[in-house]
Chain A
Amino acid sequence: MNIVVCAKQIPDPAEPGALDPQTKTLKRDGKLILDESDMYGVEMALQLAEAAGGGEVTLVSMAPDNKVDGLRSGLAMGAAKAVLVSDPALAGTDALGTAKVLAAAIGKVDGAQLVLTATESSDGYTGTVPEQIAAILGMPSITFAKSIEVRDGTVYVKRQTDAGYDEVECPLPCVVSVTAGVVEPRYPSFKGIMAAKSKPLDQLTLADTGVDAGSVGWGGGGQEIVGIEDAPAREAGEIFEDDGSGVDKIVAYLENLKIV
C-alpha cells in the first residue's frame, strides 16, 4: 500500500521566531526542519506500510528556497521518496492555495491510496489544509486519528473526541489527519541518515503542478493579514489566602475552565 504523508518544513521552534513586519508572516529564510506534528504521520505511515507487508511512503511538501532538510529527516526515518514544490511565486500562499499545490503534488505520486497529514502545523495553525486537500482530490476525509488500521481496502480509524473516540471506517483512497502524540516517532538511525542521502527527491515548480498561478501567492489568496500584534504579557495570577475553603475555590476555578 502506497501512502503519502504531507510534511511541512518549519523554522526550528527552539529558535526565537520572527515575523516580517512587511508581509506580516513568519520569516522562513533560515534553516527549516520537519514539523514535529508531521513526525506522527510519518511514523504512522511507516507502521502501516510495514503492517501491509510492503508499499512505499512518499513525503509531499511545499517550502521556500528548495529547502529539503526537513524532508531528509523524514527520509532518514524510513520514507522511500519525497516530492517538494518550491517556487518564488508561492510565497504568501494561504491555506487553500497550499492545499491546491499539495493536492496536485499528491496526484503525481503513483498509486497513492492513503494520504496522512497532521491535524495542523506548528507554525501556521490554520488546521484546514487536510480537509481542503480531501475536497480537492474528491476523497473522504477523516480527522483526529489516534489509530489507523487498513484491511481489504477499508480504513478503520479511532477518531479522538472530547469524550473519548469514535470508530470510523471508510473506503480507500482517503485523507486522514493524525493527532499529535498518538505514536512515538522513531529516531532516524545512522544508517537511515546515510541512506536518505540517495533517496529520490523530486523538486517541482508551480508550473509543474499545473496549479493556476492566479490562485496562489500573495495575490491569489482570498484572505489578507491586516495586522499582527504581540501576544499580551501574562497577567499576574490570582492569590487568595486559604481559610479552609481552598479546595472549593480550586475546584470552582477548574470547573470554570471546563477542566473538571
Chain B
Amino acid sequence: MADYRPPLRDVAFVLEHLVDLDALCALDEFDGIDADTLLGALEENARFTAEVIAPINRVGDIQGSVHDPATNTVRTPDGFADAYAQYVAAGWGGVPFPPAYDGGGFPWLAGIALQEFISSANMAFSMAPLLTQGAIDLLLEHGSEELKERYLRRMVTGEWTGTMNLTEPQAGSDVGAVRTRAVPQSDGSYLISGTKIYITFGEHDMADNIVHLVLARTPDAPPGTKGISCFVVPKFLVNDDGTLGERNDAVCVSIEHKMGIKASPTCVMSYGENGGAVGYLIGEENQGMRYMFTMMNNARLSVGLEGLSLAERAYQDAYTYAIERHQGRAPGAPAGEQSLIIEHPDVRRMLLTMRSLVEAMRNIVYVTAEGIDLSRHHPDAEVRAAKAEFVDLLIPVAKAWCTDMGVEVTSLAIQIWGGMGFIEESGVPQHYRDARITTIYEGTNGIQAMDLVGRKLGLRGGTAVLELFDTMAGIDAELAAAGPALDGIRVALADALASVRSSVEWTMTNGLADPRDALAGATPLLRMFSLAVAGWLMARQALAAVAVGGDEGEAKLSTASFFCTQWLPQVHGLGAQVSAGAGSLMELSAEQLASR
C-alpha cells in the first residue's frame, strides 16, 4: 500500500472549473471567505490528514476496535485516540458549520473536500467525525435553542462525538418498524428503552461524551413512520453549567465483527436496562422521520463520497504498483527485457477506467455539494428551489453510482496487483472490504433506485427530470464550438442522453400503469441516469480542459474522452432491462427459484 497523497490538484481542478467557487464564496453567508483561503485551508488539512490520519489506517484494520464485555467499553486501535485528539485540537470538524456555534462558516463544499481526504486516508476513522456531522446537522435544523446551547458547541469542536440510532433488529431499511419506547416524564424529559443495532461509534475511547440521536415511539404514537420521534440521549448527562453529570442508562453491549471498516466500532446499544435512559425530545413528537429526511441528502452524499475516496486511494495504490512491477514483455518492448506492467494495454485499460471513474465521481459529488450550498444560501428563492430540485435528482446518483463504482475501482486495484493484491499484507484488499459497506448503508443502492423512480422522477409532475435532460443536452453547442477534438465526446454524449431519456420516459409512462414494472427496472435505470449525468459532467470537464491546456488539460481531456467514448456507451445495453417490466422477474414462484 502506497502512502496516501491527497490529490490537491485534482480537487482544485473541480473547484476551479466544475463548480463556481467564486460565486459561492461571494454569498453573504460566506463573508470573509475566498477561493484562495479555502484552497489554502485544504492544503494544510491535506498535509495533516496524510501525516496523522492515513498512517493508522492499516493498524486500524488489523487490530479493529475491541469491546470489553466486563465494562461495556470499546477500545479503538493504537493511535486512534491520539489522532482524534489532534483532529479536535486542529478544529477541522467544525469547518462547514455556523460561526454562531464555533464553526468555521465555510461552505458545505469545503467540508466535502475535507471529508474526501479523511475518508481516503482512513475510512474507519472518518466515521466518527462523519456521524457527528450528521447529528450536528439534525440538531442545528430542528433542535431547540436550549438543546443546541447544551450540546452543539462541543459537537462542532469534536470534543463530543455524535451517533444516529435508527436501526433495530426488525427495523432495517423499514425504519417504520422501530419499537424503542420513549415515556414522557414530569420534568419534560423522556425515559428511553430498547435495543439499537449497527450504531457507528456508539461507544469508544476517543471523546469525553457521546451524543446519541435516537428514534423511538411515545406511548400513544401512531404506527409506522408517522409515529416516530427523535431524542437526544447523551452518554453522560450534561449539567446546567456544562460539566458532565451522571452516566446515562445507555450502554454498548457488543460490537459487530465486520468485513471492513474494522476500526469503526459498530455497536449494539442497549437503552434502559436499568430503568430507562434519559432522553430529550428534538422538535415535536412524531416528526422524527421528517427530521431524518432533512439530513438524509447530506448523509447520502457523504456515503457517495466514501465511494470516491476509496476509489482514489485504490487508484493511487494501483498506479504506484504499475510503475514499479515488471512482468512480461509489452508489445514493441525490446526482446529479453521485462516491461513495467503499466506498458501492457490491458493494465492501461484498467488504470484509465479507474482514473476516469474517480474523476467522474468527484465531479458528481462536488457539483452536488455546491448545489446543497446554493439551495440553502442563495439570495434568490427561485434559485434555491431549483438547486434543491437538482440536488434531489442527483442524490441517488451520488450515493448509488459512486459507491457501486467505488467497489468496482477498489476491485480493479486488486486485479492490477495480481496475486499480491489478494494478499492482505499488500494493504490493497482493505480498500475493497472497506468499500463494500457503502452500497448498503444509508439506504441500499436498491433503495436509491426506488427513490429515483418513486420520488424523484415525479418531481414537478415529471418536469424536473426532463428539464435536467434539456440542460444536459444544451452542452452540445458548446462542444461543437470547441472544435473537432471534442467531436467524439459530443457524439457519444448526445447518443447516450437520447437513449437514457427514452428509458426515463418509458418508466414515467409505464410506472404509472404498474409500479412493479418501474421498480423492476429501477436499478438499471438509475445506472443509466447516473452514466448520463457523469457523461455530461465529463463533457464539462473536457471543455474546461481545453481552456486550461498544458499537461493538466491534456490529461483531463483524455480521461473525459475515454469515459464518454468507451464507458458511457454502456447505457445502450441497459435499456432492454429497464423496459422488460416485472413479468419475467415474477414469472417463477419462490419455490421454483430454489436450487435443485
Which residues of A approach B to under 8 Å, CB–CB?
A: 14, 69, 72-73, 76, 187-191, 193-194, 197
Closest-by-CB residue of B relative to A198 is B32
Chain A residue at minimal CB-CB distance from B94: A190
Contacting chain A: which of B85-93, B168-176, B225-233, B553-561?
B85-93
Among B5, B37, B40, B90, the residue within 8 A (CB) of A189 is B90
CB of B52 within 8 A of CB of A193, answer no
The chain B residue with its CB closest to the CB of A14 is: B5
Q: Given the complex, which residues of B lie within 8 Å of A69, measured CB to CB?
A: 40
Interface: B41 (CB within 8 A) = yes
Residues in chain B near residue A197, CB distance under 8 A: 37
With known contacts A193-B44, A194-B37, A197-B37, A187–B91 Cβ distance under 8 A? no
Other than the given A14-B5, A190-B104, A194-B37, 15 more pairs (CB < 8 A) read A69-B40, A72-B40, A187-B48, A187-B52, A189-B89, A189-B90, A190-B41, A190-B90, A190-B91, A191-B91, A193-B40, A193-B41, A193-B44, A194-B41, A197-B37
Query: Within the assembled complex, what's the spacing in Å between the Cα atoms of A69 and B51?
Result: 20
Shortest Cβ distance from A187 into B: residue: B48
Among A190, A191, A193, A194, find the residue whose CB has the most chain B CB atoms closer than 10 A.
A190
B side interface size, CB within 8 A: 18
Across the A-B interface, the 7 shortest Cβ-Cβ residue pairs: A190-B91, A189-B90, A187-B48, A188-B44, A189-B91, A193-B41, A193-B44
Chain A contact residues, majority secondary structure: helix
CB distance from B163 to the nearest CB of A (A): 24
Once A14-B5, A189-B90 are accepted as A-B contacts, the answer to whether A76 and B44 lie under 8 Å apart by CB is yes
Residues on A with C-beta less than 8 A from B94 are: 190
Q: In the complex, what distance in Å separates the CA atom of A76 from the CA atom of B45?
A: 12
Interface string of B98-115 (1 = CB under 8 A from A): 000000100000000000
- Bound together, the chains give a CA A72 to CA B44 distance in angstroms of 10
Asked whether, in the complex, the Cβ of A187 is within 8 Å of the Cβ of B40, the reply is: no
Asked if B47 and A187 make an inter-chain contact with CB atoms under 8 angstroms apart, the answer reads yes
Q: Are B40 and A190 in contact (CB under 8 A)?
A: no
* Pairs across A and B, CB under 8 Å, 22 listed: A14-B5, A72-B40, A73-B44, A76-B44, A187-B47, A187-B48, A187-B52, A187-B86, A187-B90, A188-B44, A188-B90, A189-B89, A189-B90, A189-B91, A190-B45, A190-B91, A190-B95, A190-B104, A191-B91, A193-B40, A193-B44, A194-B37
Give the residue among B40, B45, B51, B91 with the most A Cβ atoms within 10 A: B40
- In the assembled complex, the CB of B318 is this many whole angstroms from the nearest CB of chain A, namely 19
A7 smallest CB distance to B (angstroms) = 16
CA separation between A165 and B468, bound complex, in Å? 70
CB of B255 to closest CB in A, whole Å:
31
Chain A positions within 8 Å of B48 at CB level: 187
Note all chain B residues with C-beta closer than 8 A to A194: 37, 41, 104
Residues of chain B from 109 to 134 with CB closer than 8 A to chain A in the complex? none
How far, in whole Å, are A193 and B47 apart by their CA atoms in the complex? Answer: 13
A76 to B40, CA, bound (A): 11
Cα distance, A73 to B45, chains bound together (Å): 11
Nearest chain A CB to B91 CB, angstrom units:
4
Complex Cα distance, B44 from A175, in Å, reads 29
A134 to B463, CA, bound (A): 75
Evaluate whether A190 and B5 lie within 8 angstroms (CB atoms) in the complex, with A69-B40, A72-B40 already known: no
